[in-house]
Amino acid sequence: MEKFVISHSAVAVPSRVVSNDELATMMDTSDEWIYTRTGIHNRHIVTNEDTSDLAIQVAKQLLVDSGLSATDLDFIIVATMSPDSLSPNTASIVQGAIGAERAFAYDLSAACSGLVFALSTASALLTARYQRGLVIGAEVLSKLVDWQDRSTAVLFGDGAAGFLLERTEAPVGLLAEDLVSIGAKAEFLTAGQLANRNAFAGELKLADPYFKMNGREVYNFAVREVPASLQRALDQTDLQADDIDVFILHQANSRIIQSIAKRFKQPLEKFPMNMVEYGNTSAASVGILLHELRANNLVHSGQKIALVGFGGGLTVGTMLIQL
Ligand code: ACO
């Protein structure tokens, strides 16, 4: 068992809320279409913040709540598919802003699985040699959304969430994990392509910054590969699905989550959802939900929880952890 404790969590979402009804004034869609297919009513959209601004808010809140100094941190990992820039990475901007002079900082890009991949990395870092670090999922997906494309514009939202992770001697932390990449199906979900305009370029590759998603293929991938990954993680332990207290799944679509609950014959109450308010916030979604559950005392120490991200790459990340 890799031992770590999630000692604090925090969230930062932009204050501007955009409802389905408001989107319906901008494009040919409706609250009914969006809600019945996805479970989403609202999403929070930035007005002037960038990804690092949200991540910095989360980091500062984690320091205030823990009473730690920024110089107590050994590392900062930011999971994001919508960084401010390719360099510096978002985590370095956070590190500089909070004055975490001893911490190394880097971004991890695995789309909606990003936070789970980052938690897996942090767990290994803590086990290997470090004492504590921040893991933050932060996204401003609204800059990757083509606001003329109703098939993707209605799905995504902006936000950030993060955790202070600390090494511990207590029997808590990672029970099992299963991380999956299916690069052969990468084309089903792309965003943020860069152009190469070098002087030697043959055929010019045009930039395509916007989300392109084959929704049906991604849906089928999720309902097939997420249960398979969860089952492989369970098979590494003596646990059955019944023994998991709460399943915290990436908040892309309520129908995907309902399908997975049914597949494991689990009550839907064990699969909390909040996409109704935030939409799909990619690397932030699992973190926002876990923070809300902690803040409302709906999860507590001693419980076993499953964290599952899935999306672009294509990727799936499953961690079974003991709180
Ligand atoms: N409003 C109204 N109609 C729409 C909208 C909209 N916003 N978007 C599409 N439609 C129309 C389509 O044009 C189509 O019309 P047609 O039949 O006349 O051609 C019809 O609605 C059905 O479209 P589909 O794409 O087949 O709708 P579907 O039932 O598959 O639902 C959805 C689409 C919600 C995107 C679904 O496929 C889905 O959830 N996929 C998974 C997405 C996901 O989970 N992504 C996670 C990863 S994201 C990440 O990693 C960043």
Per-residue pLDDT tens over the stretch 247-263: 999 999 999 999 999 99
Convert the pLDDT of each residue in 30-48 to its tens digit: 999 999 999 999 999 999 9
Q: Whose CA is nearest to atom 36 of ligand 1?
A: 215
Band of pLDDT at residue 143, cut at 50, 70 and 90 = very high
Domain range enclosing 255: 174-322
Name the residue at shortest CA distance from atom 15 of ligand 1.
151
Say if residues 27 and 177 touch (Cβ distance below 8 Å). Answer: no
Same domain, 130 and 180: no
Confidence of residue 198 (pLDDT cuts 50, 70, 90): confident
Regarding the beta carbon of 222 and ligand 1, being less than 6 Å apart is answered: yes
Domain boundary, last residue among 117, 142, 170: 170
Catalytic (active-site) positions:
112, 250, 280
Question: Which one has a higher pLDDT value, 279 or 2?
Answer: 279
Atom number, ligand 1, closest to the C-alpha of residue 37: 34
| Over residues 188-208, mean pLDDT | 84
User: Of the candidates 8, 9, 6, 318, which has an alpha carbon nearest to the alpha carbon of residue 175?
Assistant: 318
Residue 121 Cβ < 6 Å to ligand 1: no
For the segment 107-131, the average pLDDT, to the nearest whole number, is 97
pLDDT score for 207: 83
Residue 59 in this model has a pLDDT that exceeds 90: yes
Q: Give 80's Cβ-side CA count (13 Å radius).
A: 34
Per-residue confidence (pLDDT) for residue 171, from 0 to 100: 86
- Looking at the structure, do residues 195 and 217 belong to the same domain, yes or no? yes
In the chain, how many domains are there? 2
Q: Which atom of ligand 1 is nearest to the CA of 112?
A: 50
| Cα 37 to averaged position of ligand 1 atoms, centre (Å) | 8
Q: Is the peptide bond before 88 cis (omega within 30 degrees of 0)?
A: yes
Q: What is the CATH number of the domain that holds 236?
A: 3.40.47.10
| 164 alpha carbon – ligand 1 mean position (Å) | 36
Percent residues over pLDDT 70 in the chain: 100
Q: Which long-range contacts (CB under 8 A, 24 or more apart) does 69-73 make?
A: 70/98, 70/99, 70/100, 70/101, 70/103, 71/99, 71/100, 71/101, 71/102, 72/102, 72/131, 72/132, 73/100, 73/102, 73/103, 73/132, 73/133, 73/134
Average pLDDT over the chain, rounded to an integer:
96
What mean pLDDT comes out for the span 26-30?
A: 96
Reduced to 3 states, what is the DSSP secondary structure of residue 67?
A: coil
- Provide mean pLDDT across the span 283-297: 98
The reply to whether 24 and 150 lie within a common domain is: yes
For residues 272 and 182, state if they share a domain: yes
Q: Is residue 45 within 8 Å of residue 18, measured between CB atoms?
A: yes
Which of these ranges, 30-39, 160-169, 198-207, has the smallest mean pLDDT? 198-207
Average pLDDT over residues 88-97: 98
Tens digit of each residue's pLDDT (9 = 90 or more) over 7-24 = 999 999 999 999 999 999
